[in-house]
Structure 1
Amino acid sequence: MREIASIEALHELAGQEVAVSDWIEVTQEQVNLFADATGDHQWIHVDVERSKRELPFGGTVAHGFLTLGLLPKIMGQSISMGNVKMLLNYGLNRVRFPAPLPVGSRVRGRIVLQSVEEIPGGAQVVWEITMEREDADKPVCVAEFIVRRY
């Protein structure tokens, strides 16, 4: 866990890789629950038998937005910011899914601090997070994640 004590400390880290998260396994149960929550029941996510037969990955793949939804977990297990009353997920600038995430795979995030901008009462922080799949060459997600720290 990377401890960042202040906004000043954030400024000093701009442009650097700040942390790498622990590995997280993506399960079929998570994918099914995500499909139920979002209404996205496309067969490549939920039909295990058909996916085994028809997909080159040997089974189902996670939703891209499920992968994206892991960003707060990755951030929470990797970085602790001191002197914070509230953190808000403010949005995303850019998101790409360069490779699929087969269910049963493990992912982790490489977290780079792109920028810090002071705002009234705090700072707006832009993180570039690259989601890597274990034993894969291409990332499964690359996103610019904007957080407001108060």
Structure 2
Amino acid sequence: MTVINNYDEFASYLGKEIGVSEWHTIDQNQINQFADATLDHQWIHIDEERAAKESPFGTTIAHGYLTLSLVPYLWKQIVEIHNLKMEINYGIENLKFGQAVTVNSQIRLKATLKSIVNLRGTTKAILETVLEIKDQAKPAFIGDLVFLYHFS
């Protein structure tokens, strides 16, 4: 795990891969709980029998936004940022979903620091992220995530 204590240490990763998370399995229970939380009960996510018969994937798939919602959890496996007053998810740029994540697939996040700027004491970091699917050539998504960090 990478440890970052201040802006200068963060900036030293500019243009470099910061790290890769552990693999995380997305199971049917997690998909069902996400469906309940978001009120998105489309059959391709939750109806295992119908998905086995009618889906081009042959099984249920995770919601695209479920995979995206796992970024904070996976990001915390890559980096530990100290001396923070506050951290804010600020935005997402250029997000493209590349491939469906079928139930019981394993995913992991790879993050590279694309840009960093000090805005009068607030660090704006843009991370180029790739959500990889184990044993698949295409990722689940690629996108630039924007975070604001307020160091102490």
Scaled to the shorter chain, the TM-score interval is over 0.9
State how far apart, in whole Å, the 1-side matches of 2:49 and 2:25 are: 20
Letter in 2 for 1:106: Q
Q: What secondary structure does 1:85 align onto? A: strand
Amino acid aligned to 2:35: A
Q: Percent identity?
A: 37
Structure 2 counterpart of 1:23: 23
**TM-score, normalised via structure 1 length:** 0.96
Query: Is 1:53 matched up with 2:44?
Result: no
| C-alpha RMSD of matched pairs (Å) | 1.0
TM-superposed CA distance for 1:5, in Å, is: 2.1
Letter in 1 for 2:142: V
Q: How many residue pairs get matched?
A: 150
Q: Unaligned stretches of 5+ in structure 1?
A: none
Give structure 2 stretches of 5+ with no counterpart: none
Aligned equivalent of 2:12: 12
- Distance in 1 separating the partners of 2:10 and 2:77: 17
TM-score by length of 2: 0.95
Instruction: Provide the residue aligned with 1:116 in structure 2.
Output: 116
Query: Relative to structure 2, which stretch is displaced further, 30-39 or 131-140?
Result: 30-39
**Deviations 1:103-125, CA, capped at 9 Å, x for gaps:** 10000011111111112332011
Q: How far did residue 58 of structure 1 move?
A: 2.7
* Higher relative strand content: 2
Any idea what the Cα deviations from partners look like across 1:26-49, whole Å, max 9, x if unmatched? 011111111111111111001000
